[in-house]
Amino acid sequence: MHFLDQAKIYLKSGAGGPGAVSFRREKYIEYGGPDGGNGGKGGDIVFEAVQGLNTLIDFRYAQHFKAARGSHGMGKDRTGAGAPDLVIKVPVGTQVISDEDGETVLADFTEVGQRVVFLEGGMGGRGNASYKTSTNRAPRQHQPGEPGEEMWVWLRLKLLADVGLLGLPNAGKSTFINQVSNARAKVGDYAFTTLVPKLGVVRHKGREFVLADIPGLIEGAAEGAGIGDRFLGHIERCRVLIHLIDISGTGDQDPVEAMRIVEDELSAYGAGLDEKPRLVALNKIDLADPELAKGFAEELLAAGAEQVFAVSGATGEGIEALLDAVLGYLPDRTATETKGVEVEEVDGEEGDKWSPI
């Protein structure tokens, strides 16, 4: 399934049905009076967050959503049927953004089953029976139904994950997420192997959490270079970030420079990303000299890194210590953990700042 994280759609709620003009006509009742019923209410536009969706790809092919109008009122004081609501199903993490400025959040869906009546359908018009008075015994006026509401909006998906995985291109993030989770990300020995964010469920020491892998960042990502601003939006909701740094010697920057680039982009993007806990992981230690890796770790700590770990996404070396540290930042139960299931208690302490090779 293709991944799409934003789409523009048109919404229109249903108009109300018009009221009826009708008079009672029965044998032996010469002046039966008005009996036109009211029109039915138009359908609402409703958004609902559902499980099983993690992309907005469906909205690329269906961009116009119009609810049905209410039915006409009828004689014998019969009110027209109300139109059914039009329910639009979206992935959890979807935001509805105003088309006018492209920034105002009109609705934010963070839980499965969350429903929002976004546009209300028009009320049905009054039938002539409702206009009857002591001085107007045979009214012929009626009211058309109220029109529905309409607007263009943007849908923007921000993935809901507990942990975010980030780094420069070719830092080994795809190999890492494949090693620790159920994800099957594409792996290649070239930059930008990952083109769209990916999610994986990590199970470690009786706990379960969601890990989000975003494509590699480049300088200027926060301003939109390489559409990095959209990628950064997917880790806004994460509780802790893992920053992978390639120390195999194949990257262009040294580890301290690699950390600085990502730190600067997080700060420039805002939204609290630069305030989130970050664990630095020196990746591909299976391809590097242990003493060199330890020296890089000391430089990173001196440059301001909170914790530094030595790992290998290919062999799994050092990953357990990194995941132990991640658990210390998670709540008692994550969104993916089923309530009532016994889980192993995990020490919440941060542990050593450097996990030796």
Distance (Å, whole) CA 181 – CA 176: 9
The letter for the amino acid at 280 is V
Where is 91: in which H helix or E strand? Answer: strand 86-91
Q: Are 196 and 54 contacting, i.e. CB atoms less than 8 angstroms apart? A: no
Q: Name the domain boundary from 125, 157, 189.
A: 157
Domains in the chain: how many in total?
2
Task: Kindly state whether residues 180 and 274 are assigned to the same domain.
Answer: yes
**Domain that residue 328 falls in:** 163-355
> Which residues is 26 bridged to in the sheet?
29
CATH number (domain holding residue 8): 2.70.210.12
Is residue 218 domain-shared with residue 253, that is, in the same domain? yes
Tell me, yes or no, whether 142 and 171 share the same domain: no
φ/ψ of 6, rounded to 5, equals -155, 150
Q: Is 269 helix (H, G, I), strand (E, B) or coil?
A: helix
* 11 and 139 co-located in one domain: yes
Same domain, 214 and 318: yes
9, 65: one domain: yes
Do 139 and 174 sit in the same domain of this protein? no
CATH code of residue 291:
3.40.50.300
Q: Which of 157, 176, 211 is the last residue of a domain?
A: 157
Query: SS3 for 341?
Result: coil
Q: Is the dihedral of CA 193, 196, 201, 202 positive or negative?
A: positive
pLDDT tens for the 357 residues of the chain, in order: 456 778 999 999 999 999 999 998 888 777 789 999 999 999 999 999 998 787 888 898 889 999 999 999 999 999 999 999 999 999 888 999 999 888 899 999 988 899 999 999 999 999 999 999 988 989 999 999 999 999 999 998 887 778 888 888 877 888 888 888 875 644 444 344 445 677 788 888 888 888 888 776 655 544 444 444 567 777 787 888 888 888 876 555 688 888 888 888 888 887 778 788 888 988 888 887 888 888 888 888 888 888 888 888 888 888 999 999 999 888 877 766 643 333 333 333 333 444 333
Q: Whole-angstrom Cα distance, residue 286 to residue 309?
A: 13
Residues 271 and 207 in one domain: yes
Q: Rounded to two decimals, what is the model's pTM? A: 0.69
Distance CA 180, CA 246 (A): 17
User: Do both 151 and 167 map to the same domain?
Assistant: no
Report pLDDT for 34: 94
Residue 187, pLDDT score = 46
Same domain, 31 and 116: yes
Of 128, 157, 186, which residue sits at a domain end? Answer: 157
Helix, strand, or coil (residue 180):
helix
